[in-house]
């Protein structure tokens, strides 16, 4: 498996009153061909910001201060918008969190799918219709002919999410970024969507970057996982390595706070406090104010991401 995408020392932030305010700090990871990598963490930890940085979809007041995003032989943060637009949707695609806000309510599903093919190919109207029907069938949408004529509000949440997956896969991209694609769905539909993504990932040999706060989703879909906290990667490794032995207190806390099937009913453990605000990051380790193992060094000196093996890395003074 060769490296398809490499994010290297990316720092992203904004500027207020002439001062740089960091959002992501020195984020580095690789995505190999045909691999699924999960990025996990609480809301506000930098997961979605990482995805938007890769896609070149940052707000005007947020910018890449340093680092690179290399896709094959291209450095994405330096590409002009016209070149990025050629890549987005064709070679790198993204499924967003809430399909109701991502799909245009004024246009039919057929119109919106057609836009993807018009933008990235030179197809006739007949070919576009045929391709649209085929991709809707691949994502297991029943009666694709009828669904092409439907508007987003006429479909269920699960169906809308399948349409979003169809749009993301329409041009057989090499990389698909899935940002919390099952958050708004009930458990049964969530399982169907995860099975569908696994099946399509294998069929298209697409590399997937799966962004979620749900550890069960990671266990079900991913080969490797990255744990983020307050804009930093704090632990990384294969799914088996981290689930068997989480080495960072934050990762351990996430594991303990998840309900377990078949265990006795009891109060779930929680991680005290909240993710710090970007305007008020703690000195030293960013997790120290919430960490039960924190000592003086944790509040005084920031730990580095220590590589423990080729796949494993942990940012902590007191590894578990």
Which two tokens mark 45? Answer: 């930890």
Q: What is the pLDDT of residue 263?
A: 62
| Count, residues in the chain | 320
- Angstrom CA distances, 44 to 119, 134, 258, stand at 33, 38, 19
Most distant CA pair in the chain, distance: 68
Concatenate the DSSP letters of all residues of 94-128 into one string.
EE-S-HHHHS-TTS-HHHHHHHHHHHH----HHHH
Give the whole-angstrom CA distance, residue 304 versus residue 197.
Answer: 34
End-to-end CA distance of the chain: 31
Q: What is the pLDDT of residue 1?
A: 65
Q: What is the pLDDT of residue 260?
A: 66
Give the whole-angstrom CA distance, residue 122 versus residue 76.
Answer: 25
**Alpha helix stretches (DSSP H) within 237-295:** 239-244, 249-256
Nearest-Å Rg of the Cα atoms of the chain is 21
Architecture of domain 3-222: 3-Layer(aba) Sandwich (3.40)
- Please list the ranges in the chain whose pLDDT falls under 70: 1, 99-100, 184, 259-266
Q: What is the pLDDT of residue 67?
A: 95
The tens digit of pLDDT for each residue in 154-210 reads: 998 888 988 988 888 888 889 999 988 877 677 887 888 888 888 878 888 889 999
The full set of domain ranges for the chain reads: 3-222, 246-320
Q: What is the pLDDT of residue 266?
A: 66
């Amino acid at each position: 498996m060769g490296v398809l995408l490499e994010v290297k020392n990316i720092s992203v932030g904004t500027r207020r009153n002439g001062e740089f305010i960091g959002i992501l700090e020195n984020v580095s990871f690789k995505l190999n061909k045909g691999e699924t990598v999960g990025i996990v963490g609480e809301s506000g930890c930098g997961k979605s910001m990482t995805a938007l940085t890769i896609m070149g979809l940052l707000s005007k007041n947020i910018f890449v201060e340093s680092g690179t995003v290399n896709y094959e032989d291209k450095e994405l943060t330096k590409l002009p918008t016209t070149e990025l637009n050629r890549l987005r949707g064709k070679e790198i695609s993204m499924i967003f969190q809430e399909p109701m806000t991502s799909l245009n309510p004024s246009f039919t599903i057929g119109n919106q799918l057609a836009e993807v093919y018009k933008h990235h190919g030179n197809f006739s109207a007949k070919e576009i219709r045929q391709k649209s029907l085929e991709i809707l069938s691949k994502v297991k949408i029943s009666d694709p002919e009828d669904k092409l004529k439907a508007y987003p509000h006429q479909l269920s949440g699960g169906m809308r999410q399948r349409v979003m997956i169809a749009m993301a896969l329409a041009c057989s991209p090499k990389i698909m970024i899935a940002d919390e694609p099952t958050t708004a769905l009930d458990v049964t539909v969530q399982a169907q969507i995860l099975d569908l993504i696994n099946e399509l990932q294998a069929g298209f040999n697409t590399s997937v970057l799966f962004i979620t706060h749900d550890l069960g989703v990671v266990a079900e879909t991913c080969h490797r996982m990255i744990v983020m906290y307050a804009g930093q990667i704090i632990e990384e490794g294969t799914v088996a390595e981290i689930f068997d032995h989480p080495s960072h207190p934050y990762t351990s806390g996430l594991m303990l706070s998840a309900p377990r099937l078949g265990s006795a009913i009891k109060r779930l453990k929680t991680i005290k406090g909240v993710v710090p605000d970007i305007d008020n990051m703690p000195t030293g380790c960013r997790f120290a104010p919430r960490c039960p193992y924190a000592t003086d060094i944790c509040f005084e000196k920031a730990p580095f991401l220590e590589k423990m093996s080729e796949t494993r890395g942990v940012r902590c003074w007191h590894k578990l």
